[in-house]
Structure 1
């Protein structure tokens, strides 16, 4: 059994936590905190949703939509699915060029390579 050395001055000092501790009121406060736990969680989730909405609004203000016409040549970003694992981190981040064939909705384009082979999914 290891003994802990105590300085005699620390023995005589009392802290406010020990002096005003009441076990009955402490139990009541713990029960009240447990009862209010769901409300605190709801408030936290509301704050988080509000923060995320503000961040999305700020981000969307900075984004500028680039519209391409049919026949324009574009590059497509290499994704994890289309990336060649043998090239490592120094592999290309863009692939192409591709030609815009069809404009389906805002920001979504159907592409084909220069040989006329259409890509299976819009970009």
Structure 2
């Protein structure tokens, strides 16, 4: 397992996040990472790279760091707004999952036990973020 950790971290650091549309690597270093595959094959980015121009390009990208951070902050605010909007959009007839409160835990499952149960259908809205549910066989779900 220990030999897989660097590969997992590399993948995590070079995958764009949905909320920022940026990779953690690019947010930290201000540039996109060059993956090992690109160094072995001629790609546009590698063929246009020149060591003599690299310092100038890095200086220009550093000048744009603050603008890039502001752009990401706007993207995060929009993402959070859309998440909130999505939370309020449950209407009667929607299928939802319900958090498993763990009243009947199977001791053999331990950490592998599901955290959610369902699906359930919303029959009506009780109050903000609270709904009356029924299972798919139209049996009313209590609590």
Sort the TM-score into its range (normalised by shorter chain): 0.3 to 0.5
**Structure 2 length normalisation: TM-score?**
0.37
